[in-house]
Amino acid sequence: METVSMLVIVLFVSGALAGCTDETALSITAPKKLEALSGSCLQIPCSFRPKEEQKFNNTKKPFGVWIKTQSQFGNNPNNVIFNSSGAVSIYPMSITGNLSQKDCTTLFSNLTTTYTNTYFFRVESEPFKATAACDPLQITVRDSPWRPNITIPGDLKEKESVTITCSALTPCPHSPPQLTWNLTQDSHNITEKNTDGSFTTKIQQTITLSDTHDGKKISCSARYPVNQGNNKAAETEETLSVSYAPKNTSASISPSGLVSAGSWVNLTCSSRAKPPVSSFTWFKKSRDGAVKVSEGEIYSFNVTDGGVYYCVATNDLGNQISAEINVTVGGKITHQLFFKMHFPFLSFLCDRFYRGIRNRKELHMGLNFIL
């Protein structure tokens, strides 16, 4: 199947370029391929150059001719679809360029998909007559419009100002698409000419980025006017990815409320950031200033006295300090509790020994009571 398709293409191209030789007397500068929307128009940027300038007599009014399918039209005169002399006007075309200045810019109106074809340009200015047989123009007419293109600068970071652009192909600058998007209600459409003679319509918006823009969806719609006051629309959407320093950094304690001396508490630091937080650092306030006590999202420790703590979340773009959190101890630590905390095994043995003595005393007192 692929071989057959390639053969058809080769035969088609060979047929279209049948009149192309080194002796071709005319060449044009125009896009090799153009796309257009059915129901709309197409402007063909075009300029021509005779191989022998002296043979082109621009003192006489030159005429422009458009031919479809093949450059050689002797056996197929119906392939001549337009002649600016008025002799032929099968297709809705008009040459808007000044042929005397070798400008063959042409406006193709009321397009339908049946106009998809290969076209050749010809100049007639007695005695000069020549066809640009080596410069075919492929025109494709489609029913569906093109989706606009949203351009977003890369590596977005908070606090930076960036310009976001939505642009759309504009085959016919006489009837450009109307662009709208969700960045602003009143968008100023600009239609610009490109270096190849084609046109682009665009809108732009400059915004100062913040963390709230991360994940924001930008949608842009292009509405192309077509016949009978109708339009054909297409939409595209892009999502912003914005990097930002830590936000909403907070510290929490578990268990909450009063903490008994000798018990364990967990302090947890949380924050949102992009890229994610690379480090959490814990500090305890003292008379001499803040003292670093730990690193990591969770700080677990055995409480001996109260204190004021806070954490710092850090990533590549900066850091943020949490609000302070108070660790309040319900009572002072006793010598017995201190011994249990730091010498648990010895404390266990002493406790068992004490319980044994107390039990023997209670037994002796009971026997005396009975007797």
Quick: pLDDT tens for 147-185.
999 999 989 999 999 999 999 999 999 999 999 999 988
- One domain, residues 198 and 129: no
Average pLDDT over residues 92-114: 96
Of 256 and 323, the one with more pLDDT: 323
Q: How confident is the model at residue 359 (pLDDT cuts 50, 70, 90)?
A: low
Write down the residue that tokens 């976001």 correspond to. Answer: 164
- One domain, residues 19 and 116: yes
| In contact, 161 and 153? CB cutoff 8 Å | no
**pLDDT at 184 (0 to 100):** 86
* pTM across the whole model: 0.76
- One domain, residues 187 and 92: no
Helices then strands, counting H and E runs in the chain, come out as 3, 28
| Whole-number average pLDDT of the chain | 87
- The whole domain housing 58 covers 2-142
**pLDDT at 209 (0 to 100):** 98
Give Cβ neighbours of residue 318 (< 8 Å, ≥ 6 apart).
245, 246
**pLDDT at 199 (0 to 100):** 97
Average pLDDT over residues 49-69: 87
**Measured between alpha carbons, how far is 260 from 267 in angstroms, rounded to an integer?**
15
Strand pairing category for 137-142 and 33-37 = parallel
CATH number at residue 281: 2.60.40.10
Tally of domains within the chain? 4
Average pLDDT over residues 185-199: 92
- One domain, residues 363 and 256: no
**Percent above pLDDT 90 for the chain:** 70
- One domain, residues 276 and 202: no
**pLDDT at 347 (0 to 100):** 54
| In contact, 27 and 48? CB cutoff 8 Å | yes
- One domain, residues 45 and 137: yes
| In contact, 148 and 164? CB cutoff 8 Å | no
**pLDDT at 330 (0 to 100):** 78
